[in-house]
Amino acid sequence: MTARPSGDSTGSPWRVILCDDNPMLLEALCEVVTAQPDLEVVGTALNADQAIALARRHEPDLVVLDVRFPGGGHFVAKEIARCSPDSRVVAFSAYGDKGSVDEMRNAGVAEYVLKGATNREFLAALRRVASP
């Protein structure tokens, strides 16, 4: 399967916000997503306030959200659902235990990707969520 050259039905790429408190990881994540023609990074956030402000301003198609995020991943997910209801959230976490997964699912997260998955798996999850 190949990535479509463009994102939504109008032909423009899916707009993505990336949230992780580790700058090194955030940068790598940004490069991986930017390299995809059907995805566009419209903002990156290192904490809850930044993430919520960006979601409110851009109402992105996708939000990639660290689970152990300052301010609480599940809390941020709920806030984003409130201020940008059409955004779909993908949780991105080093912990895949049932408690963490349930907590994020209850906060309305669409997909849960384990850190350590390949880029291909990660991007596949983003595309699944963007065009269900």
Partner 1 sequence: MTHQPPPQEYARKQTGPLSEAAFTLLVQGVLDYGIFMLDPQGYVISWNAGAERIKGYSAAEILGRHFSVFYPTEDKEAGKPQWELETAVADGRLEDEGWRLRADGSRFWANVVITALWGENGELRGFGKVTRDMSERRAAQHALSERRRLFDHLVQAQETERRRIAWDVHDDSIQAMVAVGMRLELLAERVPESCAAELERLEASVRGAINRLRNLTFRLNPPGIDRHGLIEGLSNHLDDVVGAWGLTRSFEHRLDKEPTPETAITVFRIVQEALLNVRKHAHATAVTLRVESADGGILTRVIDDGTGAPMSRDVVHEHFGIIEMRERAETAGGWWSMRSEPGTGTTVEFWVPSPEPTPPLTDDLP
Interaction site with partner 1 (CB under 8 A): 20, 22, 24-25, 27-29, 31-32, 35, 68, 94-100, 115-116, 118-120
In the complex with partner 1, the residue whose CB is nearer, 53 or 117, is: 117
How far apart CA 32 and CA 129 sit, in angstroms, is 17
In the complex with partner 1, the residue whose CB is nearer, 12 or 22, is: 22
Joined together, the tokens standing for residue 3 give 């990535």
How far apart CA 120 and CA 59 sit, in angstroms, is 25
In the complex with partner 1, the residue whose CB is nearer, 84 or 93, is: 93
Cα 92 to the center of its chain, rounded Å: 7
- In whole angstroms, the minimum distance from the beta carbon of 86 to partner 1 comes to 27
